[in-house]
Amino acid sequence: MENSKILSIEKIILPVAIVLFGVLLRLVPHPPNFAPIAAMALFGGAYISKRYALIVPLTALFLSDIVIGFHSTMPFVYISFILIGLVGLWLRKRRSLKWVLGATLFSSLLFFVITNFGVWTVGALYPLTLDGLIRCFYLALPFFRNTVVGDLIFVGLFFGSFELVLRLSQRFVYGRKNLYKNRR
């Protein structure tokens, strides 16, 4: 029975709670692109059951977008989010500091490239020329800085808090089991 409690905490309750916390963080005022989007996708892929790994973060994104509002580059945001979730699935068996850090930076770059390409293609802000594309990416660099910093902070928060709670809950359950064993 106690193992099933750990499994439900590990596979369902805590990951979903962390993703919902990410939605709340996305809804409070924050600097542009300093949001938990990539962290939610990476975390979902790395920890949530494969069946729900992409669905839960995408649903969270959609629910927060209902409040925030939709715009013409949303397909690019969702595509980047799905790809980052796939990076999280890849990360599932490589959850060391080095791989999580690398996946976070790669995800930030992926989001930057895909969404700014979307801004260039669907918006009227830049001419549809190579010069317009370069200008779009150049002017987006301050947003990229916010993306990287936010992703590093939120990934650290999500992955770190999950691992901490998981280790504490396992220590509590298994420690108590060993305590009962020693009493007999």
Residue 184 is predicted with a pLDDT of: 41
- Are 87 and 110 a contacting pair, CB within 8 Å? yes
pLDDT along the chain (184 residues), means of 10: 57 72 85 89 88 83 89 94 95 94 97 97 92 97 96 94 83 59 44
Residue 1 is predicted with a pLDDT of: 45
The one-letter code for the residue type at 88 is G
Where exactly are the structural domains of the chain?
A: 2-183
Convert 159-174 into a string of H (helix), E (strand) and C (coil): HHHHHHHHHHHHHHHH
Residue 131 is predicted with a pLDDT of: 97
Q: How far is the first Cα of the chain from the last one, in angstroms, to the nearest whole number?
A: 19
